[in-house]
Structure 1
Amino acid sequence: MSDLDAFITGLPKAELHLHIEGSLEPEQMFQLAQRNRIQIPFASVEELRAAYSFSRLQDFLDIYYQGADVLRTEEDFHDLALAYFTRAHADGVVHAEIFFDPQTHTHRGLPFGVAANGLLSGMRAAEAKFGLSSKLILCFLRHLDEASAFATLDAAEPWLDRIAGVGLDSSEVGHPPSKFERVFAAAAAHGLKRVAHAGEEGPPEYVTEALDLLHIDRLDHGNRSLEDPNLVTRLARAGMTLTVCPLSNLKLCVVDDVARHPIPAMLAKGLRATINSDDPAYFGGYVADNYRAIAGLVSRDQLVTLARNSFLGSFLPDDVVTRHLEAVDAFAASH
């Protein structure tokens, strides 16, 4: 391992943009399919990995939803979560705020609690085993209608004391944040944090809607914000955290080359950017891999800034964030 690799791995960090269903590795997909006696349309792990070639977001989503069908029991979701946390711990992650998509599971007949209870169990196990803290964020699927999102929020009510916030993901183009304004207002009334995918494939106007109508606390992706200088200024002045996912951007053709990724421009313009893995099983890398992908574009001090930003953008209490920032600074000073 090179000195830079060791530095990136050891740097304490939070992950703020991780779809837990997107951490389902082909090996685990086959294992769960066998456990649950489910037929999947791939003959081998190698054939499944070969299918992970996407030209746009929708190509990925099609196989993502297909893969999620092997998740059937609380044990499956527990094992999925713990597998992710084990890998994240190896990458220096000490806190993670993970997304899950309840509609992906309730629409195929699973009760809300199967996914929620399994994931929460896996989160507790990760804290006990690794000291890795985590929070759970319920995401609404934006290609479904408002009524389905409201039904999901209603179904979640018994678990809301263990859910940190709501998010918005899935097919972006044609499904603007305004479609979910009332659902996000209802979530806010429950005291939940709000995040939303915007400005990945959708235009900068979607980011503005997420700010003005959904009143988001954090912006997921946000790459296309750079097309609107006034929006960039607004995000910088507000200290809005952007959860950027370099390898995902490359795999989904949001950028054509990691060497031209906008992360240096984001930092130069004063944006509170962070580095995350999005759907690591599908996009070829966990969080440390994403740091390595952009390491040649930024300085060592900027890598430290990205790690600090991950805690500043988290939903942890101030005193806990302070401890993590001190750990980041101590690590950087000793290396």
Structure 2
Amino acid sequence: MLPTTITNEFIKGMPKAELHLHLEGTLEPDLKLALAKKNNIDIGQTTIAEIEKSYQFDSLPSFLAIYYPAMNVLQDEEDFYQLAMAYLEKVKEHNVRYAELFFDPQAHTSRGIPFETVINGYYRAVTESQTLGIETALIMCFLRDMSAESAAETLRQALLYKDKILGIGLDSDEQGNPPGKFKEVFKQGKEAGFHVTMHCDIDQDNSIGNIREALMDIQVERLDHGTNIVEDRELVTYVKEKGIGLTCCPVSNGFVVDDMKGKEILSLLREGVQVTVNSDDPAYFQSYISDDIVALSENYEMTPADVVLLAENSFKISWLEPEKKAGYLQEIVEYVANYQG
């Protein structure tokens, strides 16, 4: 039965989907060290403590300045496979039942790693995730601070592996890189049959303008982050009526702008917007999906019913087939009915 108060146990055991997770952001310090040693790469650190100490960021650009160089340790297909499997093994403990996983091929092809190396390593983990009781899919993101031509070339490469990629997204530094820059690439991606989403990061220059562009011009199916939408009531009504979900990440928000945006997340949730909570880059923020929900509950007034609604939304706005969504939603019903906490 639904508990009267929120507990960590209730949150962690809740069946959930993760829809905003960057595989490159799951590179934990121990794996980073192991891969650096294996591939003979000098990362300038030799201990986990030294790596953790380097995680000093207070904005999106300062985070990305640490995030991208760390990827140099990823060199061959096995490395990408290990990275994805390490994440999946971790979130099995959080009862993640389904995950749509972002990956950034340009961050690797730009340093000489073939596209096929990246996709084949990650996809091997996708095919094996069922052994952990987790269903997974891949979402390929374009780096918005690279050119539209680079994105178009990446899309051409992706079409060779279309059966391994569920959707396309847009991430990285939003400054000066609005959604419209990639309108043609996303048009081609949609015509090829990919689902589409875009990052609209919090408190950026012209955040609401970028959100409007993503929704109206690109016609995305989801917004990643996106809580600045509260600045425009018409857009809130639009996403509510269209069933367009937001994949929010409170703990990472708190690192890059010193505000979890919990007030906005919960206000939108209770208004009927299909918001979700996700971990974003858990190795860097040391917060996996249940930890993010716990942090939200500890810093804002939440109810157990809010936790259930967040979990339900995570499946509802996923790109699963309707019958699979229904099955996972039934798991939530049964979990709540049988909960003895």
Report TM bin, short chain: over 0.9
Report the TM-score when normalising by structure 1: 0.96
The match for 1:217 is 221
The match for 2:63 is 60
Residue in structure 2 matching 1:327, options 312, 328, 331 = 331
Question: What SS does the corresponding residue of 1:86 show, helix, strand or coil?
Answer: helix
Q: Which amino acid aligns with 2:19?
A: L
Answering whether residue 282 of structure 2 is matched by residue 280 of structure 1, we say yes
Instruction: Return the alpha-carbon distance in structure 2 between the equivalents of residues 3 and 244 of structure 1.
Output: 20
Instruction: Return the alpha-carbon distance in structure 1 between the equivalents of residues 248 and 261 of structure 2.
Output: 15
The match for 1:151 is 153
Residue in structure 2 matching 1:179, options 178, 181, 187 = 181
Instruction: Return the alpha-carbon distance in structure 2 between the equivalents of residues 264 and 158 of structure 1.
Output: 41
Instruction: Return the alpha-carbon distance in structure 1 between the equivalents of residues 271 and 318 of structure 2.
Output: 21
CA-CA distance at 1:254 after TM superposition: 5.4
Instruction: Return the alpha-carbon distance in structure 2 between the equivalents of residues 3 and 305 of structure 1.
Output: 13
CA-CA distance at 1:158 after TM superposition: 1.4
* Aligned pairs, number: 331
- What are the ranges of 5 or more consecutive residues in structure 2 without an aligned counterpart? none
Q: Which amino acid aligns with 1:251?
A: F
The match for 2:244 is 240
The match for 1:18 is 21
8 Å Cα contact 1:246/1:261 also seen in 2: no
8 Å Cα contact 1:102/1:152 also seen in 2: yes
Residue in structure 2 matching 1:5, options 8, 11, 18 = 8
Report the TM-score when normalising by structure 2: 0.94
CA-CA distance at 1:201 after TM superposition: 3.5
Answering whether residue 78 of structure 2 is matched by residue 75 of structure 1, we say yes
Answering whether residue 121 of structure 2 is matched by residue 118 of structure 1, we say yes
Answering whether residue 208 of structure 2 is matched by residue 193 of structure 1, we say no
Instruction: Return the alpha-carbon distance in structure 2 between the equivalents of residues 259 and 153 of structure 1.
Output: 33
Query: Does the C-alpha gap of structure 1 residues 125 and 220 become closer, same or farther in structure 2, counting only changes over 3 Å?
Result: same
8 Å Cα contact 1:15/1:287 also seen in 2: yes
Q: Which amino acid aligns with 2:188?
A: A
Question: What SS does the corresponding residue of 2:305 show, helix, strand or coil?
Answer: helix
Instruction: Return the alpha-carbon distance in structure 1 between the equivalents of residues 209 and 6 of structure 2.
Output: 42
Question: What SS does the corresponding residue of 2:7 show, helix, strand or coil?
Answer: helix
The match for 2:165 is 163
Question: What SS does the corresponding residue of 1:140 show, helix, strand or coil?
Answer: strand
Q: Which amino acid aligns with 1:268?
A: R
CA-CA distance at 1:262 after TM superposition: 2.2
CA-CA distance at 1:131 after TM superposition: 2.0
Query: Does the C-alpha gap of structure 1 residues 142 and 227 become closer, same or farther in structure 2, counting only changes over 3 Å?
Result: same
Residue in structure 1 matching 2:310, options 306, 312, 321 = 306
Q: Which amino acid aligns with 1:142?
A: R
Question: What SS does the corresponding residue of 1:219 show, helix, strand or coil?
Answer: strand
Q: Deviations over 1:265-305 (max 9, x none)?
A: 11132211001000000112000101101124311011000
More moved, 198-207 vs 63-72: 198-207
Residue in structure 2 matching 1:253, options 246, 253, 257 = 257
8 Å Cα contact 1:232/1:269 also seen in 2: no
The match for 2:36 is 33
Equivalences for residues 91-106 of structure 1 within 5 A: 91-106=94-109
Question: What SS does the corresponding residue of 1:213 show, helix, strand or coil?
Answer: helix
Instruction: Return the alpha-carbon distance in structure 2 between the equivalents of residues 301 and 175 of structure 1.
Output: 38
Instruction: Return the alpha-carbon distance in structure 2 between the equivalents of residues 184 and 334 of structure 1.
Output: 44
Residue in structure 2 matching 1:291, options 289, 293, 298 = 293
CA-CA distance at 1:43 after TM superposition: 3.4
Answering whether residue 321 of structure 2 is matched by residue 317 of structure 1, we say yes
Query: Does the C-alpha gap of structure 1 residues 260 and 189 become closer, same or farther in structure 2, counting only changes over 3 Å?
Result: closer
Query: Does the C-alpha gap of structure 1 residues 276 and 101 become closer, same or farther in structure 2, counting only changes over 3 Å?
Result: same
Residue in structure 2 matching 1:205, options 206, 209, 231 = 209
CA-CA distance at 1:260 after TM superposition: 5.1
Q: Deviations over 1:48-106 (max 9, x none)?
A: 11111211001111111010110000000000000000111111101000000000000
Instruction: Return the alpha-carbon distance in structure 2 between the equivalents of residues 200 and 167 of structure 1.
Output: 16
RMSD (CA atoms): 1.4
Instruction: Return the alpha-carbon distance in structure 2 between the equivalents of residues 259 and 233 of structure 1.
Output: 19
CA-CA distance at 1:331 after TM superposition: 0.6
Q: Which amino acid aligns with 1:33?
A: A
Question: What SS does the corresponding residue of 1:274 show, helix, strand or coil?
Answer: strand
8 Å Cα contact 1:201/1:254 also seen in 2: no
Q: Which amino acid aligns with 2:213?
A: E
